[in-house]
Structure 1
Amino acid sequence: MLLWALLLTLISQGAGAGAWDDPVCTEGVVSVTRGAPAEMTCNISNPFLHVSVCLRAPGRGDCQRRGDCRLVFTQAAPGCSSWDGWRLCVEGPSARMVTEEARASQAGEYQWTLVGGQTEQLCTTLNVSEPPEQPSTPPWGTQDPRPAQDPRPAQDLHSAQDPPPGRLHVALILVPVLLLCILALGGLPFWRRNLGRPTHVQFP
């Protein structure tokens, strides 16, 4: 009986080791602008034993071929490592590779070699484009963007608050003349009254 139990355990372990990985990875093309984050992931049904990632320049033919591929990571699971702006973390059946700021030198075809229950090779292409150019002038034109409380120029503001120098001189001349005229008109009746009185001459 004990022998049968041991045999069944060995058979179940062997069946588990030979289970298909069924990898699910980031496929096709990942497109980001320069300086933006980028991410690639791979997940399988069995725990990872080893993960390798190499980079081939874009437009170099079939990603599955072995030559012309620069090694980026080779890592036994589990663990994390960083290189050339990338960080790869492998834990259980999951592998994740991220970069916080994509660079033009990171663009190309990434070939993943996944070792779990089997060995699989999968490819993902990263495109890194330049960010859109910012307008060199503000949308409202080339005028000075400083806020203005009054659209009139500074000299117009002064002219609205203070009279011009010529008017000030005229006002300084007219005010005394008007005062003299008022005083003269007010004193004219007294002058006429005194003019009509006889002059008294006293003799010694």
Structure 2
Amino acid sequence: MLLWALLLTLLSQGAGAQTWDDPRECPPTAWDHPACTEGAVLVTSGAPAEMTCNISNAFFKVRVCLRAPGRKACRPVFAQAAPGCSSRGGWRLCVEGGSARMVTEEAQGSQAGEYQWTLMGCQKDQSFTYLNVSEPPEQPSTPPWGTQDLPSAQDPLPAQDLHSAQDPPPGRLHVVLILVPMLLLLCILALGGQCWHGNRARPVPVQFE
């Protein structure tokens, strides 16, 4: 019975990540196998970003530094981070057992670059991940009255609209054609009447013998 209990204990310990209080306590066969976020992480500005590293044994310390584009120096982001959670520079790093997870809620352009992870468990290893932060695409502006197309003031009117804007309606054209001759006739009659009244009012000359 005691042998079975000891066997179950060994199996349960082998199922998870091994933990030692000091790297010097690691047995020679306890090799770490780091698996980190590889390649490039592509996000838009303001979007969340995440990087992770996992090993078969527990982490003792994790260091992360950032090499910005065009720079040679690697600026420390988290230096000698022990197990637990800490925040710095817009990042939050949580180290628990053989898992390390670094996240940011809103990625910024100043956070872009190559991240160098130094992982210290039973062995020491390095990993590199590149963060690329791009600007979000511009949204087309919509006028407050909607997207209905309105005629431009500079656009020429169609031929039909030009005729309708310049020519009077048919009813008005008929009225003009009737009124103009009537007005001319009235003017002629008025002038004729004045001439006739003038001739009648003129005195007849008297001749004396």
Question: What interval of TM-score do these two structures reach, taking the shorter chain for normalisation?
Answer: 0.5 to 0.7
RMSD: 2.1
Query: Given the superposition, is the C-alpha separation of residues 45 and 125 from structure 1 closer, same or farther in structure 2, using an over 3 Å criterion?
Result: same
User: Of 136, 140, 143, which residue of structure 1 is paired with 2:147?
Assistant: 140
Q: Which stretch has the larger CA shift, 83-92 or 130-139?
A: 130-139
Query: 1:32–1:128: 8 Å Cα contact kept in structure 2?
Result: yes
Distance 1:79 1:129 in 2: 31
Distance in 1 separating the partners of 2:35 and 2:85: 20
- 1:21·1:44 contact (CA, 8 Å) conserved in 2? yes
Q: Structure 1 pair 141/110, CA: closer, same or farther in 2 (3 Å)? A: farther
1:77 aligns with 2:82: yes
Instruction: State the SS of the aligned residue for 1:105.
Output: helix
Unaligned runs of 5+ in 1: 1-12, 61-66, 144-204
Report if the CA contact (8 A) 2:56-2:98 is conserved: yes
Q: 2:64 matched to 1:53? A: yes
Given that 2:26 and 2:122 are in contact with CA atoms closer than 8 Å, whether structure 1 keeps it comes out as no
- Measured in 2, the distance between the counterparts of 1:26 and 1:71 equals 19
Structure 2 counterpart of 1:52, one-letter code: R
Aligned pairs (5 A) from 1:34-183: 34-59=45-70, 68-137=73-142, 140-141=147-148
- Alpha-carbon contact 1:18-1:117 (below 8 Å) kept: no
SS of match in other structure, 1:36: coil
Moved more, 96-105 or 13-22: 13-22
Given residue 67 of structure 2, which amino acid in structure 1 is its aligned partner? R
Q: Distance in 1 between matches of 2:51 and 2:88?
A: 15
Distance in 1, Cα, partners of 2:44 & 2:109 = 9
- Equivalents in 2 of 1:16, 1:59: separation in Å? 42
| Secondary structure in structure 2 of the residue aligned to 1:48 | coil
Counting aligned pairs with the same residue, the percent is 71
- Residues 15-72 of structure 1 deviation map (CA, whole Å, 9 limit, x = unaligned): 6355211000000000000000000000001100000000001255xxxxxx510000
Counterpart Cα distance in 2 of 1:121 and 1:106:
20
Alignment CA distance shift 1:27-1:59 (3 Å): farther
Query: Quick check: 1:21 aligned with 2:32?
Result: yes
What TM-score does the superposition give when structure 2 sets the normalisation length? 0.55
Instruction: State the alpha-carbon separation in 2 of the partners of residues 15 and 34 from structure 1.
Output: 42
Give TM-score scaled by structure 1 length.
0.57
Q: 1:89 to 1:101 in 2, by over 3 A?
A: same
Q: Could you list the structure 1 runs, at least 4 aligned residues long, displaced by more than 3 angstroms after superposition.
A: 13-18
> Which residue identity lines up with residue 83 of structure 2 in the other structure?
P
CA separation of 1:72 and 1:142: change in aligned 2, threshold 3 A? farther
Q: Label 1:130 to 1:49 Cα distance change in 2 as closer, same or farther (>3 A).
A: same
Contact kept, 8 Å, 2:37 with 2:129, in 1: the verdict is: yes
